[in-house]
Structure 1
C-alpha cells in the first residue's frame, strides 16, 4: 500500500502475522483525513494496540475530498489533555507520510501515563510534531496572504476564481477564513489537489483544478498595483526579507508582484529624494506643530492627502505605517473606527483583523457591500505597547484623537459620503469633539456636518463580551447596520 509506515520494525512474533503480533493495517484517504484518523485512533487505543503493531497507509480515492466519510466509531472518546486535539488537527494536513504514525505514537504514550508529554519540547517526537505544526501555520498564513481572486468575465452573475498551490493539504483548513472574509462573494479556490466553492450560502469541496481554469487577470488589478506601489517604502527595501516572506513561487499569481522589479530598481533614487525632503518635516515629536505643517500643504485630493499622511511621523507611540481609508470616493456610507490594530498596521489596510472580519460579516448580513462603502479610522496609526513578542493595543487619548481630527475631516470632505457611521466612543469623539456614551446615543445622530450620522458599537466590543452575551449583542449590531443600510439608500436616492 502506498504511503505505508510503521513506528518500528516488527519483532519475530509480529512477523508471523497472527495472534498478538499481527499487524493492524489502517488505510486513510488522501489529503487531510482528520475524521478517519480520529476514528482509527479511538479504535486502536480502545483495543490496546501499540504503535509498533500499526501499519498506516494512504489509500486511493477519487480526489482530495472524494473518499467516503468514515463509519462512526463505536469506541468511546479518548481522555486526552488539552492541546492534543489541536496538535492532531494541525499536523494531519502535513505532507509527511509518517504524520499519522507519529500522532498515534503521541496519543499512545499519553494514554500510557505520559500525560504532560506535549510540555516536553526536548522530546524528539514532540519536537518533530511541533515543527510540522509550525509548517502548517506558515502555509496557512501564505494562503491567507497571497491568494488572489479574479473576476470571471461574462454576462452572468458575478463570480471570482483563484488559483493557489499550497505546500501541504490545507485547503479544508484554509477555506473558512475566506468564507468569513468574502461572505458576500461567489468564489472558487482551485488547487492541484482539490477545489473549494462558496456560493454565498454553502461551502463545498470538489475535484482538483488547473491553473488555466482561473482568469489570468481582471480589471481590478491595475488599481491594486497602483495601491501597492503607493505603499511601497523604498527605504526599507530588503530583497532577502522579501523573498523569505513572499517566496517567488507565489509571484505569478499576485498582480502587485509585476511592479516589484521596477520598484526595486527605483528604490535608491526614491530614498535619496525622501532624504532631501526630510528637512521640511518637523524633527521632534510635536503633534500640534506637525499637523499645522502638514495642513499648510493644502491637499487638493484624497490621493494628495494620503501622500502627506504617509510621510507624517506617527502622532501616537508605535506604528509601522499609516493605515489609510479604503473604499470608493463618493461612497454613500462611510464607517469610522478608532485606530488600526496589529494586523492592520502590518498589512496597511483598515479592518482586516478579528474585529474587521466581524464587521465584514455583519455588513454582509445587513445587506451592505463592503466594497461599496468607505472604511477608515479616527487615528491613522497603531498605538501599542510591546509585551514580549506581543503588541498590545493602547487606547488613544482625547488629545491624540484631536490631533488626527484635521485629517479625518479632510478625508471625509473628499469622500463626500451621505451617511457616516461612528463605530465606538473614539469615533464619536473624533467626529463631534464630545465624549458621548454609546448606550445613550446609539442610533441616528447629528454631527453638525454635511452628512447624516449614525452611532453604534465598535465590533471589537463584541469580541470582548463573555460567550453567553455575544449572540444577543451581535444580533443588535446587525440590526443597527440594517438601519444604516436603509438610511444610506434613502439618502442616496
Structure 2
C-alpha cells in the first residue's frame, strides 16, 4: 500500500502527474491511498513518491472525463482522488465507460463535479469586497471573506484576477487565501475571518437593493435556492431581507391600491420611445452596450469582443453563420475573414447585394484554442449556442426578414433548436417560429475541402443554394 500526498496549491496538476506515474507503473487503485495536504501517517500506507511516467508515455482518456475530474477533485469528498484514479484505471480497459451515465462510478464523479461547479458560481456571485486601502495608495486595495463548501479558491481565483485586474485584493477562506497584488496572483494558507472595516459603499448598495426589491414577486424557496442562507451573514444587503419579506404583503397591497385603472396618456409616448430604442442599429446604442457586457456563457472570457450583426433593419434577407472567426473577433464585424470573402463573392455572383442583407452569427464570441501565436477555431457546443440564442432571437425580432438563411449546423440549431442532419436538410425551407429558414452549408466548409474538384463541386452547389434564396426573396 502506498500513500500519495498532494499539495494544497496545484492539487489537480499534482494528482494528474501522480496518476500518470501510477498508471505507467501498473499500480491498481486499491494499492494507493490519496490525501491532500499534510496529515498523520496512514496505518496502511507508506509515504513514497510515485515514479513519474516514462518520457513519451501516452494515456488516452475521453475529453469529458478530464473536464469532469478538473472540477471533481476540488470537492471535499475524501475519496475524490481515489474515485478519479479508479475511473482512470478502468478507462484503460473500457475506453467508452465514461459515456455510461448509468454506471455508479461515472454518476458519482459527475455529481461531485456538478456540486463544485455550483459552488464556484456561488462564490463569483456572493463575494463582497471591502475597501481597505489608504488615500495615497497607487492602487486600490480590497479584501473579502468567504466560506465555500468545497476547496474552490484556487480554481476560482483567476475569475477575480481577470474581473478586478485594476485593483489589489485579498480573498480569505478557511482553506486558502488568494492575494492579487500588482497584477500577480498568489496563494497563502487559509485563516480565520479577519476584522474587515465597514465600507461606506455598503449603505448605498443596501439602498439600491431595497429599491429594486419587488414585494409582489416574493418566492422564498426560489430565492433561497439561488442565495442560500449560509451566505447571508457575509453579504451586507442580506440584513435587509427579513424586513423586506415581512412587509412584502402590505407593500404589494399598497402598490395594487395605488395602481391606475387605465394607463396614463404618457404611456403611449413611453411605448413610442421604447420602440425607437429597439430600432437602433445593433452596432450602436443600448443593445451594443448590453451585448458587450454579455456573460451568458464563458466564451466572453477569452474573446476580444462580442461581434453583433450588421446590415439594414428593414432587410428582407438575413444570413446567420456560426460564430466570429479570428479576423471578426479583432475587427468587431461579422464575415470579414476568409469565409466572409467566399461568402461575399458568391453573393455577388448570384446578384445579392451584401449591403442590403443583414448578416449575423448564432454565437457572438470567438471560441478558439491557442497554438503558439495562432488562435485555432473551435466549434461552439450546444450549451453555448442555446445561451446565445437570446441575442439571435432579438435580432430576428428587430429585423423581421422575409427569409432567413441558416449557414451551417450551429446556425441551424440557433434558429430551429435542432442542428443535426444538416446535409439531409440542405436546400429545404423550414420554419423557426413564424419566420421561414432556408438551410445550407457554411462557406468555411468550402475552405476545408482539400480536393480541388470536390471544392469546385461544393462551391457550385453553394452558389445554387444562394441563387434559390435570391429567387425566393424576389418572388
Equivalent residue number for residue 338 of structure 1 = 288
Hey, what's the Cα distance between the residues in 2 that align with 1:208 and 1:277?
53
Q: Secondary structure at the match of 1:192?
A: coil
Aligned pair in 2 of structure 1 residues 291, 209: CA closer, same or farther (>3 Å)?
farther
TM-score, scaled relative to structure 1: 0.55
SS at match of 1:89: helix
Q: Do structure 1's residue 229 and structure 2's residue 131 form an aligned pair?
A: no
Q: Residues 85-484 of structure 1 correspond to what in structure 2 (within 5 A)? A: 85-112=66-93, 114-157=94-137, 158-213=140-195, 215-279=196-260, 282=263, 290-293=267-270, 336-338=286-288, 340=290, 398=313, 463-464=365-366
- Residues 299-339 of structure 1, C-alpha deviations (whole Å, 9 max, x = no match): xxxxxxxxxx9xxx9x98xxxxxxxxxxxxxxxxx985436
SS at match of 1:197: strand
Q: CA deviation at 1:290?
A: 4.3
Q: CA RMSD in A?
A: 4.4
Which sections of structure 1, spanning at least 5 residues, go unmatched?
A: 1-22, 62-68, 297-308, 317-333, 345-349, 364-392, 400-422, 426-457, 474-493
Render the CA deviation track for 1:210-238: whole Å, top value 9, x for unaligned. 3124x242011111112211221211112
From 48, 52, 56, give the equivalent of 2:30.
52
Aligned mates of 2:312, 2:242 — CA distance in 1: 42
TM-score for both structures, normalised by structure 2: 0.56
Could you tell me how far apart the structure 2 residues matched to 1:98 and 1:196 are?
26
Cα distance in 2, alignment partners of residues 127 and 246 from structure 1: 26
- Deviation (angstroms), 1:25: 2.8
Distance 2:260 2:76 in 1: 54
Note if contact 2:20-2:52 (Cα within 8 Å) is conserved in structure 1: no
Who is 1:433 aligned against? none
1:25 lines up with 2:3 in the alignment: yes
Question: Which secondary structure does the structure 2 equivalent of 1:271 belong to?
Answer: helix
Larger displacement relative to structure 2 (130-139 or 149-158): 149-158
Give the stretch that moved more between structures: 98-107 or 235-244. Answer: 235-244
Give the direction of change, closer, same or farther, for the CA distance of 1:70–1:196 in structure 2 (3 Å limit): farther
Shift of 1:466: 6.0
Shift, 1:45, TM fit: 0.9
What's the offset of the Cα at 1:251? 1.0
1:77 CA displacement: 3.9
How many pairs were matched up? 316
In the alignment, what sits opposite 1:36? 14
Distance 1:266 1:142, change over 3 A: same
| Alpha-carbon separation, structure 1, partners of 2:5 and 2:58 | 20
